[in-house]
Structure 1
Amino acid sequence: MVPDDSVHEDCQFLTGSPQRFAVLARLYDSPARPTDVCDSVDATRTTVQRILAGFSERRWVVKRDGEYCLTVTGRRVHDRYRDLLTELERARAVGPLAAHLGPIEEDVPAALLDPDSLTVSSEQSPLASVRRFTEWLRDVDGDVQAISPIVTSVFNEVAADLLESEIRIEFIIDHGVLERSATDFPTALERSLEHEYITTYVHEAPLDIGLALDASRVCLAAYDDRNNVRAIAESDEPAVYEWAESVFDHYLERSDPLEAAVSTS
């Protein structure tokens, strides 16, 4: 069903300025006279009167004994618009993660799309996500399963420290990471082949996400087209952990042992 023009006009009226929703929110708390609304909203009396007239025309408010009161419809409009603002705020916060999730985006648990679970890189702090991901890895509890579409000296150093602590690692990379490791990080590649506590696999296609699991926690990393970490999300919820295990298993099924990949490269 496509709304008619009058509905779009009503929507445009409400969204035309922040003051309009502010007036609606003020009346949501209690009925008020225009002067009372002016005291609560950053708007002139003329602007408030114009807004109240627009609300009255749409039957979102009625005037009783000099006070403006929200109608049932006005309250519903307020509630739905507040929910929309909340969702837009959430979308803005989660955008750097959501834009780079590739084929798993439709299945990502809601807990990983909670702004409170995120660390996001920005122009002011371009390495925020990498630093937090590194901290997460250094603080692992138990063995680790991980997927990575990149290789860096920092991650190699963390992996070496984990292996020194006798933490077992199952690691999935792609052929691009394998080629760069052979060229730039031969010692780390040799360690992946020979160390008893790490088992590495090479995925059949390029990877587009990063994922790490320890005994109880999940860390999901999203990378941009240049393989920069744009955002990470963390969770220790059991449902998220089950999801992450299934994602890891899905990629593992489509990967070959590193030894086999090296022998054919």
Structure 2
Amino acid sequence: MTEGPDDTAFEDCQFLTGSPQRFAVLAQLREGPARPTDLCDSVDATRTTIQRILAGFSERQWVVKRDGEYQLTVTGQRVFDQYGALVDEIERARAAGPLAANLGSIAGDLPADLLDPACLTTSSEQNPLAAVNRFTDWLHEVDGDVRAISPIVTSVFNDVAAELLETGTHIEFIIDHSVLERSASDFSEALERSVEHENIDTYVHESPLDIGLALDRSRVCLAAYDDRNNIRALAESDAEAVYQWTETVFDRYKARSQPLAAVLSVQESNR
């Protein structure tokens, strides 16, 4: 069983996080020594509140008073830096929540770059199609050949694939058996194109897919789906380490898949 902080450390954490003004005072002192009156001018707090905060910091030896000014100690600077890093990570976690909560089996080794809020597009009640629209735009911006994985089939994605094939783009595409069944019943023309077109190689994964993924010559796009197969979030990157990780993921899924023509042949022989 993992032990948490001792009572004193926990109380110190509670003190620091008890109000935004406390971290704001630390931030001001990180810039340089200051008097309580100076802190009142820069922090939204009364003089009494500032004095109480400084007393709490002094008790913990995060600050010292010299010549009427308060300044951070070495430990106070470290507390500020570590707390700032924690706040940054919590902000990243909030932004990446819709992605992280819907990634399934690949979440464990996900590159940290894909959790950067700047890389993310998330759907919301106000804009439920934000992620799928961005995914569609990403596909329209493809440069070079494409490798992709999808747990769903839609007319929008089929139309984009048809456009790419017409431009000579080569596509490697991994689907699962549910996508194959839906394609056979609702998108027979697209399924036929997947079998016959010389620029597309389609594979059927042995088990249901739980992610969407695409990569072209230099970019990566990772889509996370909810239980109803709606895209909840999208992460994009052109970082080399992310690209290499995505190639490894794609190859792993491909190794567990069979060519579409072979799967259809088995289905036909079983009828």
Q: TM-score range by the shorter chain?
A: over 0.9
SS of 2:172 mapped into structure 1: strand
| 4+ residue segments displaced more than 6 Å | none
Q: How well do the aligned residues superpose, as a CA RMSD in angstroms?
A: 1.2
Alignment match, 1:94:
96
Where does structure 1 lack aligned partners over 5 or more consecutive residues?
A: none
Amino acid at match of 2:160: V
Q: Choose from 241, 256, 259 the match for 1:257.
A: 259
The CA distance in 2 between the partners of 1:197 and 1:170, in whole Å, is 9
| Candidates 85, 88, 97, aligned match of 2:87 | 85
Q: After superposition, what is the alpha-carbon deviation per residue over 1:34-67, rounded to whole angstroms, capped at 9, x for unaligned?
A: 1110100011111111111111111111112221
> Following the alignment from structure 1 to structure 2, what is the Cα–Cα distance between the partners of residues 71 and 136?
49
Structure 2 gaps of 5+ residues are: none
Counterparts of residues 13-24 of structure 1 (less than 5 Å): 13-24=15-26
Instruction: Report SS of the residue matched to 2:125.
Output: coil
Q: Which residue of 2 aligns with 1:25?
A: 27
| Counterpart residue type for residue 169 of structure 1 | I
Matches within 5 A, 1:159-178: 159-178=161-180
- Determine helix, strand or coil for the equivalent of 2:193: helix
Look up the SS of the partner of 1:221 in the other structure: strand
TM-score by length of 1: 0.96
Moved more, 253-262 or 80-89: 253-262
Of residues 43, 48, 52, the one that matches 2:45 is 43
Quote the offset at 1:2 in angstroms.
Answer: 4.0
Q: Which residue of 1 aligns with 2:238?
A: 236
1:215 match: 217
Instruction: After superposition, give the CA deviation of every residue in 1:110-156 in whole Å (9 maximum; x if it has no partner).
Output: 22222211111122211111111111111111111100001111101
Which residue does 2:112 correspond to in 1? 110
What is the percent sequence identity of the aligned residues?
74
Question: What is aligned with 2:143?
Answer: 141
For 1:15 and 1:232, the matched residues in 2 are separated by 32
Of 196, 199, 203, which residue of structure 1 is paired with 2:198?
A: 196
State which of 221, 226, 229 in structure 2 corresponds to 1:227: 229
What are the superposed Cα offsets for residues 75-129 of structure 1, whole Å, 9 maximum, x if unpaired? 1111110111111111111111111111111222222222211111122211111
DSSP 3-state at the match of 2:144:
coil
Deviates more, 1:151-160 or 1:122-131: 122-131
SS of match in other structure, 1:119:
strand
Distance 2:60 2:243 in 1: 48
1-structure distance, mates of 2:4, 2:121 = 38
2:151 alignment partner, SS class = coil
Deviation of 1:33 after TM superposition, in Å, equals: 1.2
Once the two structures are superposed, residues 206-225 of structure 1 have per-residue CA deviations (whole angstroms, 9 ceiling, x without a partner) of 00111111112111111111
Equivalents in 1 of 2:238, 2:61: separation in Å?
47
Q: Deviations over 1:233-262 (max 9, x none)?
A: 112222222211111111011111112222
Cα separation, partners in 2 of 1:90 and 1:163, compared to 1, 3 Å: same
> Equivalent residue for 1:156?
158
Q: SS where residue 206 of structure 1 aligns?
A: coil
